[in-house]
Amino acid sequence: MKYLSFIPSTTIEYNIPNVPLYDHLKSSAIFASSLYSYHEDDLDIEKIKDLETKKFLIIAGDFFGIQKFIFDDVPAKKASKTLRGKSAFIQILTKLISFYIVEKLNLSYLNIVSTAAGKFEIVGCIKDVEKLKQIQKELDEFFLEFSFGEYGVGISYIEASGEDFQSKNYAKLREQLSLKVEEKKYKKFDLQNINAVFDVEIKDNLCGYCNKRFSESEDKPCKFCDIFIKIGEKLAKSDFLRVSKTKQKDDDLKIFNYFIGFDDRVTEQTLAIFDISKDEEFKNFAKWELKSYVALNEDEEIATFKELAKKSFGEFENGKRVSGIEAMMTLKADVDGMGDLLKKEKSGVPLFSSYAKFNFFSRLIDYFFSVNVPKMMREKYPNSYTIFAGGDDLYLVGAWHEILDLSRDIRVEFGKFSKECLTISMGLILTKPNKPIKFISDIAEESLEKSKHFERKNKKSKDAITVFEESIGFEEFLDSENLVYLIGELERVDKDIFKLNTSFIYTMIDFCNMSKNIDEKIENTMWKSKFRYFTYRNVFEKIKDNQTDEIESFLNLLQMMIDKHPKATKIALFEFVYKRRESS
């Protein structure tokens, strides 16, 4: 992967080299392993070459209820201890389940195509259907104990022939698999054939982290929440994750049928050891982009959300905040139109016409979110925290001004990464750190949905950001030359000429609302005259004569921005006032 990901698999002149040698070789190994499993009793060369017979099984696993699992019943004061661990638990569990499946099906670990964002994909042979049904039953039993059936992993599969993987048919094959996965979501547990009655021993104390399972005391986590907490803590400090079939050290954690440890100890029972360090070199270990960035406090412990909020922009005197609000911001984002992209064609040929090409594309999208974004956070935005980063999704929290700036950088870098062939939508919300995490998650999702449904005059939707309850296209949000100048002028005027108090800023925000909604109310057309009247009464009458020209120039700029870019100006005004609001 390290050395062959950017070497083309072919150099034939008429063939555009868009499949790396690594993905070509891995795909070849996957099909070879699956074909051997199918033909191992009769290795007749002509039968192996047969492309019409359905020999393959594409297996897809999907962790359902991810949002609910991560965010439900998490107390705000304990959120930073558990959220990252719960998110990583999903990634670890899906990889372990994929390990278990290939072992049970006597396949190579190479048959695991991908594990990301609570999903995995494996290619096997058609003889394994009954084994898969048994594995699904085992998973159901595990999740009934673990979550009382609230969450689970569904295994879907479709049969395929060699012809189905050819360029003219592959897009249809992926569509069939997607439909199977969706269908499985409505059949999460086989309730007719399992014991769905829970035998629960009533005890005094509910776990203070999940409020569902019992623990020794309210302050101590239950056995599962304890796993989440320990994973979160160890991810922040460890460089390697070990997977074994037996317990290797006293602090190893048991997940499903495996034990995981955070060290580089290798024994006969070690199945795999993954480099999860921040180091970009592979160190001769399998690389796994599991270790997203999480801010640490002065004690080298995971920073609480309250500690992150305290790092928000502000001015201090004698160690005490005198201006700037103390708050955190939540960012939720995902890539626009991924489903539609997979159906696109170019000159009559599907865009993703080969198995290797699709896998390469999926791997790079996941790499951007799981590696590039945490690297940006680590280098430029230290007071931030990754809840989830992988697949085509992103969920971050942190000091509000850092997350706001980070949102701009992510969109710019994603545009470079995809050459603007793909876009991303985001929802940002500003809250106090003591708000319930479920509430924060819900309104962040609502904010993202507003961006997903944002429409411009040219009808191009999505590629938008919603922040301070205002939705705006990224092309306007990032066209910042005038906005940067405006913010600079706001700061200069406020400091040297005239104090721009909160009342002044919020009146300007009202004018922004009127300007952007002129078509809705006839009274909104009067905003310019109201602007002039307000500024004359509240600004010009209170300044010195030698400052009139400067103020006139500043107000002309402000009026022009409200007229041409009311949404962007409104966002800039909110950013300005929150950075300078006097601390109570």
Q: Can you give the CATH number for the domain in which 31 is found?
A: 3.30.70
User: Which pLDDT value is given to residue 558?
Assistant: 94
Is 442 inside any structural domain? yes
User: Which pLDDT value is given to residue 220?
Assistant: 82
The domain that holds 359 is classified in CATH as: 3.30.70.270
Residues 372 and 320 in one domain: yes
What's the rounded Cα separation, in Å, for the pair 553 and 557? 6
Q: How far apart are the first and last CA of the chain?
A: 54
Residues 139 and 25 in one domain: yes
Residues 255 and 380 in one domain: no
Whether the CB-CB separation of 144 and 189 falls below 8 Å is answered with: yes
User: Which pLDDT value is given to residue 346?
Assistant: 66
Last residue of a domain, one of 452, 477, 502: 477
Residues 259 and 405 in one domain: no
What's the rounded Cα separation, in Å, for the pair 15 and 350? 15
Residues 429 and 530 in one domain: no
298 CB contacts (<8 Å, ≥6 apart)? none
In sequence order, what DSSP letters do the residues of 292-317 get, joined into one string? --B-B-TTSSBPPHHHHHHTSS-EEE
Q: Is 398 left (phi over 0), alpha (psi -120 to 50) or beta?
A: left
Residues 46 and 148 in one domain: yes
User: Which pLDDT value is given to residue 145?
Assistant: 80
User: Which pLDDT value is given to residue 61?
Assistant: 95
Give residue 275's domain range: 239-287
Task: Enter the pTM of the model.
Answer: 0.89
Residues 503 and 557 in one domain: yes
What's the rounded Cα separation, in Å, for the pair 316 and 312? 11
Is 547 inside any structural domain? yes
Last residue of a domain, one of 434, 461, 477: 477
Last residue of a domain, one of 477, 493, 512: 477
Q: The dihedral of CA 465, 469, 471, 472: what is its sign?
A: negative
HEC string for 177-222: HHHHHHHHCCCCCCCCCCCCCCCCCCCCCECCCCCCCECCCCCCCC
Task: Please give the biggest Cα pair distance in the chain.
Answer: 98
Walk along the chain (584 residues) and give the pLDDT tens digit of each residue. Answer: 888 888 998 887 666 778 899 999 999 999 999 999 999 999 899 999 999 999 999 999 999 888 888 888 787 777 888 899 999 999 999 999 999 999 999 998 989 999 988 899 999 999 989 999 999 999 988 888 888 888 899 999 999 999 998 877 888 898 899 999 999 988 888 777 776 676 666 777 888 888 788 887 767 888 888 999 999 989 888 889 999 999 999 999 999 999 999 988 888 888 889 988 876 666 667 788 888 899 999 988 899 999 999 999 988 888 788 888 999 999 999 999 887 777 776 666 666 767 888 888 888 899 899 889 999 999 999 999 999 988 888 999 999 999 999 999 999 999 999 988 899 999 999 999 999 898 999 999 999 999 999 987 766 678 999 999 999 999 888 876 777 788 889 989 888 888 888 899 999 999 999 999 998 889 999 999 999 999 988 888 777 777 788 889 999 999 999 999 999 999 999 999 999 887 65
Is 8 inside any structural domain? no
Is 546 inside any structural domain? yes
* DSSP H or E stretch at residue 93: helix 79-104
Cα 29–115–272 angle (5° rounding)? 70
User: Which pLDDT value is given to residue 348?
Assistant: 62
Sheet architecture: strand order including 54-64: 112-116, 119-125, 54-64, 152-161
Residues 335 and 377 in one domain: yes
Residues 136 and 171 in one domain: yes
- Give phi and psi for 341, each to the nearest 5: -60, -40
Residues 384 and 276 in one domain: no
Q: What is the CA radius of gyration of the chain?
A: 28
List, in sequence order, the alpha helices (H) in 419-456.
437-452
Residues 377 and 458 in one domain: yes
Q: Is 166 left (phi over 0), alpha (psi -120 to 50) or beta?
A: beta
241 CB contacts (<8 Å, ≥6 apart)? 92, 260, 261, 262, 273, 274, 276, 288, 290
Whether the CB-CB separation of 30 and 118 falls below 8 Å is answered with: no
Whether the CB-CB separation of 109 and 102 falls below 8 Å is answered with: yes
User: Which pLDDT value is given to residue 539?
Assistant: 84
* DSSP H or E stretch at residue 69: helix 66-71
Residues 458 and 519 in one domain: no
**Residue in 512, 416, 528 with CA at minimum distance from that of residue 472:** 512
Please count the structural domains in the chain.
4
Is 343 inside any structural domain? yes
